[in-house]
Amino acid sequence: MVVVMKVGATPQEIEAVEQMVRKVGGAPHVVSGVLRSIVALVGDDERFLDLPLSTLPGVETVQRIGKPYKLVARELHQAPTSVRVGNATIGRESFALIAGPCAVETPRQALAAAEAAKAAGATILRGGAYKPRTSPYSFQGLGKPGLEILADCREATGLPVMTEVIEARDVEHVAAVADALQIGTRNSQNYALLSEVGRSGKPVLLKRGFSSTIEEWLMSAEYIAREGNANIILCERGIRTFEPMTRNTLDLAGMIVAQNESHLPVVVDPSHAAGRRDLVEPLARAALAAGADGVMIDVHDNPSEALCDGPQALLPDDLARLGAELAKLAQDLGRPMALPES
């Protein structure tokens, strides 16, 4: 960390900074410029963070040097991490398709979506039994019966299941069924929930909060990793901007930055980013071309009747076509499509 002193700060004010740093075992190094001085702090950054340095007289700013995230940072872990979800792998070595219904509505609808996902080449089935909805009057998901339906879909298709958990008290029973837990955008900074999914040991897909910076997103991942669970897949799903014509704004630059900053795999959800069926295919292709490690796509066999997010759901045939296109593009880019493993 570096403490930047105000122009004209007195030697006594600089000395007060040095003393505060020394008290917690740090070594201050004063660099005197023509106009102002800076004090570089050598030692354990964590201890300096709690010091009220910025309140001392003569201090202009206190700047952190280095990354606040550690366990998920590429800085400390150069090799990319691959995350195993059931019999599937998400990582740099291949491009994965994750697909399924936004919400589990009925056994028939969920199975139709699961079969569509499988037929399109998906290696992981997504689907929500617990739905965090903006309106309390909207369909909130089937809850436990929805989990059972997902388990039946896994049985029928062989696809591992990824499903959202929205409360810490649900983690245990959701983790008992799911192959991977999803943390949605609204819960991206629910730190108690993040710690709980970290403790579950299950792979976690962590969506970016719709108003989170990349650093905040990675700090959320750090909460999970801090519990000893590094099986984290980051998911860029669009952020809120001033633009109302799309549900969110897909931040592909953010996806790339997250990949550079972290060793964790990063996938893209064009369905929730766009909120519009017509944009899902071009955005999925863009995500692949930009180097994402996979895409997550909503599918429904009757979107106009869907209880959740129908306007963004692809029909099974559209998903099949998209799966084939992605496989071809992946091949052209020298990046194989992820295949089911045993």
Residues contributing to the site for Mn ion (CB under 5 A): 102, 309
What span, in angstroms and rounded, lies between the C-alpha atoms of 117 and 301?
11
State the number of CA atoms in the 13 A half-sphere of 275 facing the CB: 11
207 binds, options ligand PEP, Mn ion, none, Cβ within 5 to 8 A by partner type = ligand PEP
Which of 128, 141, 294, 303 touches ligand PEP by CB under 6 A? Answer: 128
Taking alpha carbons only, the member of 243, 240, 242 closest to residue 251 is: 240
State the minimum distance, in angstroms, from the CB of residue 263 to ligand PEP.
23
Q: Work out whether 247 is an interface residue with ligand PEP (CB under 6 A).
A: no
In the structure encoding, which two tokens stand for residue 258, read together? Answer: 């997250």
Taking alpha carbons only, the member of 107, 90, 122, 123 closest to residue 314 is: 122
State the minimum distance, in angstroms, from the CB of residue 237 to ligand PEP.
4
Which of 123, 185, 212, 259 touches ligand PEP by CB under 6 A? Answer: 185
Residues 6+ apart with CB under 8 A from 157: 114, 115, 117, 118, 125
Which of 17, 71, 102, 181 touches ligand PEP by CB under 6 A? Answer: 102
State the minimum distance, in angstroms, from the CB of residue 99 to Mn ion.
13
Taking alpha carbons only, the member of 244, 229, 234 closest to residue 276 is: 244
**Rounded to 5 degrees, what are φ and ψ at 320?**
-60, -45
> Which is nearer to ligand PEP, 51 or 274 (by Cβ)?
274
State the minimum distance, in angstroms, from the CB of residue 166 to Mn ion.
12
In the structure encoding, which two tokens stand for residue 271, read together? Answer: 């369905």
What span, in angstroms and rounded, lies between the C-alpha atoms of 8 and 305?
69
Q: Work out whether 277 is an interface residue with ligand PEP (CB under 6 A).
A: no
What span, in angstroms and rounded, lies between the C-alpha atoms of 106 and 98?
20
Through-space distance between the first and last CA atoms of the chain, rounded to whole angstroms = 48
CB closest to Mn ion, residue no? 102
Q: Work out whether 237 is an interface residue with ligand PEP (CB under 6 A).
A: yes
| 125, amino acid identity | L
Q: Work out whether 300 is an interface residue with ligand PEP (CB under 6 A).
A: no
> Which is nearer to Mn ion, 102 or 337 (by Cβ)?
102
Q: Work out whether 272 is an interface residue with ligand PEP (CB under 6 A).
A: yes
CB closest to ligand PEP, residue no? 184
State the minimum distance, in angstroms, from the CB of residue 130 to ligand PEP.
10
Cβ 78 vs Cβ 65: under 8 Å: no
184 binds, options ligand PEP, Mn ion, none, Cβ within 5 to 8 A by partner type = ligand PEP
State the minimum distance, in angstroms, from the CB of residue 238 to ligand PEP.
8
CA–CA–CA angle 243, 244, 249 (5° rounding): 50
**Quick one: which segment of 68-76, 154-162, 181-189, 260-268 binds ligand PEP (CB under 6 A)?**
181-189
State the minimum distance, in angstroms, from the CB of residue 269 to ligand PEP.
6
Element (H, E) at 295: strand 294-298
89 binds, options ligand PEP, Mn ion, none, Cβ within 5 to 8 A by partner type = none
Reduced to 3 states (helix: H, G, I; strand: E, B; else coil), residue 323 is helix
> Which is nearer to ligand PEP, 37 or 190 (by Cβ)?
190
Which of 207, 263, 277, 335 touches ligand PEP by CB under 6 A? Answer: 207
In the structure encoding, which two tokens stand for residue 339, read together? Answer: 């295949």
What span, in angstroms and rounded, lies between the C-alpha atoms of 115 and 111?
6
Interface residues with ligand PEP (CB under 6 A) are: 102, 128, 184-186, 207, 237, 269, 272
